[in-house]
Structure 1
Amino acid sequence: MVELAKLLVHRHSTLVISLVIITSPSTATAAVTRYADSLAAAATPRKDDGGGQPSPAANFTPMIESHKPRIREAVSAELARSGARLAGFVLDMLCTSMLDLAEEFGAPSYIYFTSGAAFLRFQLHVQESHDEEGFDVTELKEAELACPGLTRPVPSKVIPSGFLNKEWVALVYTITRNFRKTKGILVNTVRELESYALESLSRGKNIPKVYPVGPILNLKGEKSRREDDETIEWLDQQPESSVVFLCFGSMGAFRGEQVREIASALEGSGHRFLWSLRRPGEGGPWASPTDYEDVREVLPEGFLDRTAEVGRVMGWVPQAAVLAHKSIGGFVSHCGWNSTLESVWFGVPMATWPMYAEQQFNAFLLVEELEIATEVRMDYRSESEEVVSAEELERGIRSLMEDCSRKGRMKGFSDLVRGALTDGGSSSSSIAEFIGDVSNNDL
């Protein structure tokens, strides 16, 4: 959201953007706040902190609702202080209950959808099918679901877990209905990457205007630490496109048995590797992973010694900086959308190992639709605690590193994505269109 704000004010200097950050019960809140602060400090937007203590309510919507008085006060104070005209609200894709607050101020609302256009079309289609035809996605079982944003049906095994749970999908329906009440949806994607889905969105019933404004990425990353410098120095010594990079996002971590299977696969594949290995967090499924004090405690005995010449095992790594390095030849990824866009930006082919949220859907998109990834698994779910065998992972690594067809295709998409934000590019034009629309509201 901060990167989007920076992009908008860079393009239109008379825009003033205030960021309201809602804290949550998540253990990652402090880290998120520090990250947002570090980005905002170097940008033009001002930040009003709408935080405070989160609601004790367990339900997500009441937690969001509890912050309305603070946000109402923050917006009123900012308008009184600046004397500016309120052009609109841009809402996080999960905070659509704030729509009525925007209406109080007589301002239009927009959604910033941080996943891809195909998943947005899928979400809208499932909600529409439920409301108009009584379709129950939780009963899909082993069948497939035709989705207007994809060229082929979606197998039930890659439908996000939240859609298969009756309690959670009810919340999804509510959020998605609210999408349709907005004036527009900004999507972190590129027209050339997801043209089919975007065309489907433009033809959909009661779907607001969609602005593909991506890729919105923070490619500079956090300030380098000593061990990160050492990682890049090690990569400097490796041949071009020779290293497979394994990294599973901010919440990606495995238990001991799975770690040993990964180690066995890497050793068996014979390929050079850089592995971001993290300890699962304590205190529940959404507890943030931490770095091991000594990775030897979880790795097979002698693994580090046997692979010392070809591999490196780290904790947290600067993912964008690693993907940018010429020695990286493949990326075993959890398929989070930001990681996907980073991989496309740098032209690095992927192997799919999704964990949660919409990552299974993204894996299907990458493997079956865009054909820029190979499959380790498309239907893996972190809550299942299933162990992926060394043999299965080794096959995926070999396919990723030894099949050149995906690399050429990924390079083509990389060139298109990089061109989208240049003057006259598709995303640059879409951003200009959005700025024009929001600037002319109520004029």
Structure 2
Amino acid sequence: MSNTAAPPPPHIALLPSAGMGHLTPFLRLAAMLSSRNCTVTLVTARPSVSAAESDHISFFLSQHPKVNHIEFQVISSTNPTTDDPFFLQFEATTRSVHLLYPSFAASSPPVSPIFSDFTVASSIAPVAADLGVPNYNIFTTSCTFSCLMACLPTLLSNPSCFASDLKEVNVPGITPLPIGSIPPPFKNPNHLFTSLIATNSRALSKSRGILMNTFEDFEPETLAAINSGRVLENLPPILPIGPLDTFKDKKEQEEDGNYLSLLDSQPGESVVYVSFGSRTAMSNEQIKELSDGLERSGYRFLWVLKTSKVDKDDKEDLKDLLGEPFLDRTKGRGVVVKGWVN
């Protein structure tokens, strides 16, 4: 009978970036890994950009006491080139990641791998190398958009690749992308966001692998193109780990009840979902026009309303924004939500 001791469970450090769209997959992955007896350390930047991020992190940690938490202070830019708080946080986090080395080095048990957001790929690579541990990058986008970001340095070398008269952008190995789907900052090589993406894309070759919340049957052609080297020859393999189970805190469950009860009571495919993304704020004039249109249409609807890019700046309640008469007239067929909707 062998006396060989079983190897200890891995200790995985998870480093998300700014924004709920980046944080949520990391919390889901942390919950899954912890449930499978891994030692998990969640690493977050201080301060967060949004109240939603702070709330979700706090509640997650309260519900998962086995998950360790490292919080580090980011170094803000003294000469910002944009007023976008999320782009600035991406840059600040990238600038500050080197500060994590002492915490990682002192971890017990030692950190095995690091799972880090793609937006810190360039700065976490030397930290992982100094620790002697592998780093896996996590893309929080689709495989197709990940291909675009990975190829961005090559595309930017051709000034005409994002020309306004083009109808599509050619990315090697995959179906061409409509020019309208390209983020506007990508058309400016000097934009902070574009520069950050290009810098991190160049560092992907130093990663052991790329984790994505997807699965083979969902994006088979794109996954095959990446993993066969048709997109870029030096990309590490993409490892589909999805779909990750949804993690919801108590507050989310209470808020979800407001609109899920409506959705559950309606005929299938009868509700219009209205959302312009988690970073798009609407003016009072736009809110009035859209509310008038929704009311006159007669359709059932679920409307996610944002009046500011960052929720900390969003002070008005729905009655002030829409008027109580509108809410009364559309009650039963429409729900308006301010906040994060899964």
Specify the alignment match of 2:270 in structure 1: 242
Specify the alignment match of 2:316 in structure 1: 292
Specify the alignment match of 1:150 in structure 2: 174
Q: Which residue type is aligned with residue 73 of structure 1?
A: P
Return the TM-score normalized by structure 1.
0.60
- 1:220 partnered with 2:243: no
Specify the alignment match of 1:77 in structure 2: 106
- What's the Cα RMSD here? 3.1
Note closer, same or farther for the CA distance 1:110–1:295 as it changes in structure 2 (3 Å cut).
same
- 1:122 partnered with 2:148: yes
- 1:141 partnered with 2:170: no
Cα offsets for 1:190-238 (capped at 9, x unmatched):
2111111101101221110110112235353442587764545555554
Specify the alignment match of 1:338 in structure 2: none
Name the CA distance, whole Å, in 2 between partners of 1:288 and 1:17. Answer: 29
Q: Which residue type is aligned with residue 108 of structure 1?
A: P
- 1:211 partnered with 2:236: no
Specify the alignment match of 2:290 in structure 1: 262
Q: Secondary structure at the match of 1:189?
A: coil
- 1:319 partnered with 2:341: yes
Name the CA distance, whole Å, in 1 between partners of 2:320 and 2:310. Answer: 25
- Cα contact 2:301–2:334 (8 A) shared by 1: yes
- Unaligned 5+ runs, structure 1: 321-443
Offset, 1:291: 5.9
1:55 aligns with one of 76, 88, 100? 76
1:107 aligns with one of 99, 123, 133? 133
Q: Which residue type is aligned with residue 72 of structure 1?
A: Y
Note closer, same or farther for the CA distance 1:137–1:10 as it changes in structure 2 (3 Å cut).
farther
Name the CA distance, whole Å, in 1 between partners of 2:60 and 2:322. Answer: 35
Q: Which residue type is aligned with residue 158 of structure 1?
A: S
Q: Percent identity?
A: 27
Return the TM-score normalized by structure 2.
0.75
- 1:189 partnered with 2:218: no
- Cα contact 2:213–2:241 (8 A) shared by 1: yes
Specify the alignment match of 2:223 in structure 1: 198
Specify the alignment match of 1:178 in structure 2: 203
Specify the alignment match of 2:18 in structure 1: none
Offset, 1:160: 1.1
Q: Secondary structure at the match of 2:46?
A: coil
- Cα contact 2:214–2:243 (8 A) shared by 1: yes
- 1:160 partnered with 2:183: yes
Q: Which residue type is aligned with residue 216 of structure 2?
A: R
2:302 aligns with one of 244, 254, 274? 274
Note closer, same or farther for the CA distance 1:73–1:196 as it changes in structure 2 (3 Å cut).
same
Cα offsets for 1:323-366 (capped at 9, x unmatched):
xxxxxxxxxxxxxxxxxxxxxxxxxxxxxxxxxxxxxxxxxxxx
Mean alpha-carbon deviation: is it higher for 57-66 or for 40-49? 57-66
- Cα contact 2:45–2:72 (8 A) shared by 1: yes
- Cα contact 2:301–2:333 (8 A) shared by 1: yes
Q: Which residue type is aligned with residue 198 of structure 2?
A: Y
Offset, 1:68: 4.0
Note closer, same or farther for the CA distance 1:230–1:164 as it changes in structure 2 (3 Å cut).
closer
Note closer, same or farther for the CA distance 1:121–1:297 as it changes in structure 2 (3 Å cut).
closer
